[in-house]
């Protein structure tokens, strides 16, 4: 999923809302309408947010 996060093309300082909006754009419109896929969508958003948080931590750790 890290590759998917990279394809969002977001800066590291982007807000969590921006990450979720970009992730929504990557999903198929049919999957956005299907209520049975809601838990899977939430999991996808959370994974994207975890990758974003790790990227922010990495930048904070290596900035001098």
What's the CA gap between 7 and 54, in Å, rounded? 16
The whole domain housing 16 covers 2-62
Asked if 48 contacts 5 with a C-beta cutoff of 8 angstroms, the reply is: yes
10 torsion bin: left (phi>0), alpha (psi -120 to 50), beta (else)? beta
* Positions of the chain with pLDDT under 70: 64
In this prediction, residue 63 carries a pLDDT of: 84
pLDDT at residue 22, rounded to an integer = 97
- Domains in the chain: how many in total? 1
Confidence (pTM): 0.89
């Amino acid at each position: 999923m890290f590759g998917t996060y990279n394809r969002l093309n977001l800066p590291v300082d982007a807000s969590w809302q921006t990450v979720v909006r970009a992730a929504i754009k990557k999903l198929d419109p049919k999957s956005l309408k299907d209520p049975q896929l809601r838990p899977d969508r939430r999991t996808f958003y959370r994974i994207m947010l975890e990758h974003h948080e790790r990227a922010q931590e990495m930048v904070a750790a290596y900035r001098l």
